[in-house]
Amino acid sequence: MSDEFCYIGGNVAENAGGGRAVKYGVTGRYVLGVEVVLPDGERIQVGGKRYKDVTGYDLLSLLVGSEGTLGIFTRIYLRLLPRPTERATVLSFFPSVDAAVDAIPRIVRDSGIVPTSVEFVDQLPLHKACEMLGETLPYQNAHAMLLLEADGRDAVVVQREAESMEEICRTSGASYVHRANDEADAERLWTIRKQVPWALRKYAQQQSLEDIALPPAALPDYIAELQMLASKYDVTIPSFGHAADGNLHATPLKRAAQTAEEWQETSGALLAEMYEHAARLGGTISGEHGIGHKRREYLPHVMSNRQIDLFRRIKDSFDPEHIMNPGKIVE
Amino acid sequence: MSDEFCYIGGNVAENAGGGRAVKYGVTGRYVLGVEVVLPDGERIQVGGKRYKDVTGYDLLSLLVGSEGTLGIFTRIYLRLLPRPTERATVLSFFPSVDAAVDAIPRIVRDSGIVPTSVEFVDQLPLHKACEMLGETLPYQNAHAMLLLEADGRDAVVVQREAESMEEICRTSGASYVHRANDEADAERLWTIRKQVPWALRKYAQQQSLEDIALPPAALPDYIAELQMLASKYDVTIPSFGHAADGNLHATPLKRAAQTAEEWQETSGALLAEMYEHAARLGGTISGEHGIGHKRREYLPHVMSNRQIDLFRRIKDSFDPEHIMNPGKIVE
């Protein structure tokens, strides 16, 4: 969603991910260098226009994703790729979440294709987004959506990859499979996906947009666990996200009948369980949104005290007075 | 050359590069996590099987390429890609270094192709390698070689890319262009490239194998500068390397007539000039070999004291007693 309003500084400071990371990786892969102002005002340049660099410790990767806690970027060097000239977009609706999730490894692992995008949306956010958009697609019986994309520079190859992905969706039980006719149609399909967080926000103003990152193979287990937690805490936990990367924006929603205090208590306990379960499956609490203040106290759920102590030492190495974005990542 | 004897631990500790980084990036791109024993014996796991992770500072990238100075890896989690099923290998000989170097941006930037490999070898190492191998290819009039490769999963596309690369070589003035007939032929061509460092080592036992990394666009300027430095210091500086990445293994050779003391003096001054010129062009002193002990004293040529001080602080954060691979990267 943030592609509509974010800036490159924030992108780099968060090491942003998004819907094309399956094929292209996250922001950091393209950052060749930064000029950064350190907390005492000294300006240094780390990296530059060179593509390869093992000149000592990788300060560049440390700065990328540091959430403004180590310094402020005043210049960013990016590597650009030739723009793909062809893309093919496939929308699939599934009669169950399981059917959609089962299709994912068949697309990503078994087919030999490296898709550009494998976006997953479950029932509630799909329906709310389509309703908000006045969508006429036959989403009414869908329990889950996959939005798939292939791109490249060869139309025949890209269309063939799209065909394979369609075929996999069909044999995985998709009830509706549609390949975009043209760019305008592709944009229409992406608009549904991009509407999801806004539709959820409209539906339930109090919510906790999460950013669980899992080993992709653990996704089915985690989705089953979410269903159990939703029952246990009597809340709705819709999910959407970058499924092939195992990055799931599970989003517990406050019930209308709950008071703000009840919600705070419920969501605190629920998030702790969600995070612990992610950790048990080899996952973590943030794939692309970062830690900030919100998730700082939850770090011990997914890492040892020693790691958190190393974070503090790194923070102290750059910013001994803790004046840069204070309270974020480390206390 | 080290692909014949290296281990994965060293690969990760050096963040190794090599001949396929143009398309696939360096080792670090595939490292999802490590289990690492810290200097006091505590074992922590950083990252894991998840693909995306922005849970605090990027300790993983800090450990990758840290040359054994922060801890010892006891487990490494790697991301694997579907193996490409097709490859096409193209060898080109050029009547001048300039002609070969001019072809590189035309292949990498203008064609829209993302080649797997763009390896460059200049005259002396090419001839010495071919002689050692008893090669019958018409290398005798060649002043430079480009070894190009494309790979993928679609034979038609891969062969078409190879054809484009051949065409670019021809229109850039190549005197000989040969596409490998089969896998055995491709291996034969790669053997020439892999023989280069061994042939140079046999030719001049005292030498300084360098690892300059430049913005790729700066390669022609740097090669011209190397020729001037070779004249100035009256030494031979053959070059080879991963040209599309701007990673050049320029290798000053001791003249037979020089004493060890003369060579030490000459090479010290020459390397300082080579490094300074790399820095002026936006490059650095190591693209894939690392700093170790050899290049530590040269760090001030390519970075500020503040950056070196940050290295020291990071070292101290992990290894306050400096017991891990002491003297490497930081003093």
Interchain contact, B114 vs A61, CB within 8 Å: no
- % of chain A residues with pLDDT over 70: 100
Instruction: Tell me the per-residue pLDDT of A228-239, one tens digit each, with 9 for 90 and over.
Output: 999 999 999 999
Interchain contact, B287 vs A53, CB within 8 Å: yes
The side-by-side arrangement of strands in the sheet containing A72-78 is A43-47, A31-37, A72-78
Instruction: Tell me the per-residue pLDDT of B149-171, one tens digit each, with 9 for 90 and over.
Output: 999 988 999 999 999 999 999 99
Q: Confirm if A73 and A36 have CB atoms less than 8 A apart.
A: yes
Residues 6+ apart with CB under 8 A from B167: none
Closest to B313 measured CA to CA, from A206, A302, A235, A38: A38
**Chain A residues whose beta carbon lies within 8 Å of the beta carbon of residue B242:** 52
Q: How far apart are CA B284 and CA B225, in angstroms?
A: 15
Mutation site, B49, B51, B110, interface A, largest A CB count within 10 A: B51
- Give how far A136 is from chain B: nearest CA, Å: 34
Q: Which of residues 168-187 of B touch A (CB under 8 A)?
A: none
Q: How far apart are CA A284 and CA A245, in angstroms?
A: 13
Confidence at B2, pLDDT banded by 50, 70, 90: confident
Q: How far apart are CA A279 and CA A281, in angstroms?
A: 5
Mutation site, B38, B57, B299, interface A, largest A CB count within 10 A: B57
- The residue in chain B having the minimum alpha-carbon distance to the alpha carbon of residue A17 is B52
Provide the pLDDT for residue A58.
Answer: 98
- Give how far B206 is from chain A: nearest CA, Å: 24
**Chain B residues whose beta carbon lies within 8 Å of the beta carbon of residue A291:** 54-56
**B309 three-class SS:** helix
Interchain contact, A51 vs B247, CB within 8 Å: yes
Q: Please state the ipTM of this predicted complex.
A: 0.95
Confidence at B109, pLDDT banded by 50, 70, 90: confident
**B22 three-class SS:** helix
Instruction: Tell me the per-residue pLDDT of A25-62, one tens digit each, with 9 for 90 and over.
Output: 999 999 999 999 999 999 999 999 999 999 999 999 99
pLDDT of residue A112 exceeding 90: no
**Vertex B221, ends B219 and B225: CA angle to 5°?**
115
Distance of CA B198 to the CA centre of its chain: 15
Backbone angles phi, psi at A148, to 5 degrees: -115, 145
- The residue in chain B having the minimum alpha-carbon distance to the alpha carbon of residue A296 is B56
Q: Which of residues 93-112 of B touch A (CB under 8 A)?
A: 109, 112
Instruction: Tell me the per-residue pLDDT of A76-111, one tens digit each, with 9 for 90 and over.
Output: 999 998 889 999 999 999 999 999 999 999 999 888
Interchain contact, A50 vs B283, CB within 8 Å: yes
CA-based end-to-end distance of chain A: 29
**Chain B residues whose beta carbon lies within 8 Å of the beta carbon of residue A301:** none
Q: Confirm if A88 and A162 have CB atoms less than 8 A apart.
A: yes
**Chain A residues whose beta carbon lies within 8 Å of the beta carbon of residue B327:** none
Provide the pLDDT for residue A8.
Answer: 96
Interface size, chain A vs chain B, as Cβ–Cβ contacts under 8 Å: 212
Location of structure tokens 């007539």: B257
Task: Tell me the average pLDDT across A302-317.
Answer: 98
Q: Is A27 on the interface with B (CB under 8 A)?
A: no
Mean pLDDT score of chain A: 96
The token pair that represents B109 in the structure block? 């930037």
Distance of CA A204 to the CA centre of its chain: 20
Q: Confirm if A104 and A216 have CB atoms less than 8 A apart.
A: yes
The token pair that represents B297 in the structure block? 């004293």
Q: What letter would DSSP give residue B136?
A: -
- The residue in chain B having the minimum alpha-carbon distance to the alpha carbon of residue A111 is B82
Q: What letter would DSSP give residue A58?
A: -
Task: Tell me the average pLDDT across B273-285.
Answer: 98
Q: How many residues does chain B have?
A: 331
Interchain contact, A54 vs B317, CB within 8 Å: no
Location of structure tokens 């034979």: B155
Provide the pLDDT for residue A129.
Answer: 98
pLDDT of residue A147 exceeding 90: yes
Interchain contact, A314 vs B318, CB within 8 Å: no
DSSP states along B188-254: HHHHHHHHHHHHHHHH-SSB---BEE--GGGHHHHHHHHHHHHHHHT-B---EEEGGGTEE----B-
Residues 6+ apart with CB under 8 A from B125: B196, B197, B199, B200, B238, B239, B240, B251
Interchain contact, A59 vs B307, CB within 8 Å: yes
Closest to A284 measured CA to CA, from A273, A299, A268: A299
Distance of CA A289 to the CA centre of its chain: 7
Instruction: Tell me the per-residue pLDDT of B28-45, one tens digit each, with 9 for 90 and over.
Output: 999 999 999 999 999 999
Interchain contact, A55 vs B303, CB within 8 Å: yes
Q: Which of residues 222-241 of B touch A (CB under 8 A)?
A: none
Confidence at B1, pLDDT banded by 50, 70, 90: low
Interchain contact, A299 vs B55, CB within 8 Å: yes
Q: Is B61 on the interface with A (CB under 8 A)?
A: yes
Q: Which of residues 289-318 of A touch B (CB under 8 A)?
A: 289-291, 295, 299, 302-304, 306-308, 310-311, 313-318
- Give how far B225 is from chain A: nearest CA, Å: 18
pLDDT of residue B23 exceeding 90: yes
Distance of CA B173 to the CA centre of its chain: 26
